[in-house]
Structure 1
């Protein structure tokens, strides 16, 4: 690694890793969990339907 890059700074690597984990968690929470719930519950007739 060259000495003039941000990767030599420990704080930057920690920030980058934390942001990556945060973005992945946001993706899972907004995309994967609703899809998982919809596929595992499946379509059901409503209890209060007409």
Structure 2
């Protein structure tokens, strides 16, 4: 494998990793918001 090809592969892997982490961050943010909303609903509910 040429050096150029290795570099291309490394860049592609990094790009893919960045996309995955971005997706995870979005998913986690949505999950956190959902659980916060549920907690708010629980605390607002009359006992």
- Matching residue of 1:36: 28
Aligned length: 37
Matches within 5 A, 1:3-18: 7=1, 9-18=2-11
How far 1:28 moved relative to its partner? 1.1
Instruction: Provide TM-score, normalisation by structure 2.
Output: 0.58
Which runs of 5 or more structure 2 residues have no equivalent in the other structure?
41-47
Instruction: Provide TM-score, normalisation by structure 1.
Output: 0.56
Higher RCO (CA-CA < 8 Å; seq separation 6+): 1
Cα RMSD (Å) = 1.8
Structure with the bigger percentage of helix: 2
